[in-house]
Amino acid sequence: MENREQAAVVTRRQAANGATTVAVSMGEPSMEPDVWRKDVRRARDRIGRGQLLIVSVLGTPEPDGDAEALVADYARCARRAAESGAEAGEVHQALPDPFAPQPQMIYENVPLAAQILYRARAAVTVPVLARLGVFRSPRVLHETATKLAPWASGFVLVHAFHRRVVDAQGNPAFEGAGRERADVVGASLFPIASRQVEEMLAWRRAGAWDRAVLAVGGISTEERAHYFLREGADAALVATAALFDPLLAVRFRRTRAAIAVA
């Protein structure tokens, strides 16, 4: 598994069998805390038996703020989510590091990522999960997970490819400054996501650490969700696919029940 930096080329064509891949460039928009906290409470009131409410939290970098301000905002958001009814907090670290001179993600800045997880965990009593992205190699993935494991109850991966996104002519696909790079999500992420999840599960079986592993990335079919669970993942999470196929989880639960009966 090697993650070599390449540009993603945006094309427009109808995907077959739900195999949709999209590039996303919209920042990290959020409603005011009073609004999203009400959403969390409503969601908690409506979840069914056997369901778990995981709320993704992230800090907002201030224009003149330092790393301490960002860490404090992560902890503040985690506390607000837990107080509103979250049963686990997913600390989103697959975001650009605002303090790095060269493009990198927060989870690649291990001291910063560890400090964020430590403060978030100290702020809440619910489990804290570290949401990660694509790593350059298995060695870097293993080293990072090992260093973050003391502060996390589990890992969620793989979030997305963060890539330069261009059109068929090689020009930036998104207009505006700072939008040369974007998140590429959807079905095409599955090959590398599955390899990274397999690596994490292998190291867990070998005793590297005992943490939950929640698989995400390219789960566009029931078969892919079943694959992750067979490999030993504690959960298979659906994101992009649900936008294009809202009944995917329903079909998965039906096939899961049929497998259990058989």
The mean pLDDT value for 75-79 works out to 97
Query: Which of 16-25, 119-128, 135-144 is least confident?
Result: 16-25
Query: Please, what is the average pLDDT of the chain?
Result: 88
* pLDDT, tens digit (0-9, with 9 covering 90-100), for 245-262: 889 988 988 887 656 544
pLDDT (mean) for 66-74 = 96
The predicted-structure confidence for 190-231, as pLDDT tens digits, reads as follows: 999 999 999 999 999 999 999 999 999 999 999 999 999 999
Model confidence over 38-58: pLDDT tens digits?
Answer: 999 999 999 988 899 999 999
**Residue 235 confidence class, pLDDT cut points 50, 70, 90:** very high
Q: Report, as an integer, the average pLDDT of 86-108.
A: 93
Q: Extract the tokens encoding 146.
A: 């090992």
Q: How far apart, in whole angstroms, are the C-alpha atoms of residue 98 and residue 65?
A: 10
261 vs 96, which has greater pLDDT?
A: 96
CA-CA-CA-CA torsion for 161, 243, 44, 128, nearest 10 degrees?
-10
CATH number of 8-261: 3.20.20.70
How is residue 188 annotated by DSSP? G
Q: What are phi and psi of 144, to 5 degrees?
A: -65, -45
Q: For position 102, what pLDDT does the model report?
A: 87
User: Which range (102-111, 115-124, 224-233, 251-260) has the least confidence?
Assistant: 251-260
Assess whether pLDDT exceeds 60 at residue 16.
no
Residue with the bigger pLDDT between 104 and 166: it is: 104
- Has residue 2 got a pLDDT over 80? no
Residue 258: predicted pLDDT: 59
Burial level of 68, CB count in 10 A (0-12/13-18/19+)?
Answer: exposed
Lowest mean pLDDT among 12-21, 46-55, 78-87, 137-146: 12-21
Q: How far apart are CA 203 and CA 99, in angstroms?
A: 31
To the nearest whole percent, how much of the chain has pLDDT over 70? 91
Average pLDDT over every residue of 233-239:
94
**What is the enclosing helix (H) or strand (E) of 21?**
strand 21-24
Per-residue model confidence (pLDDT) at position 18? 58
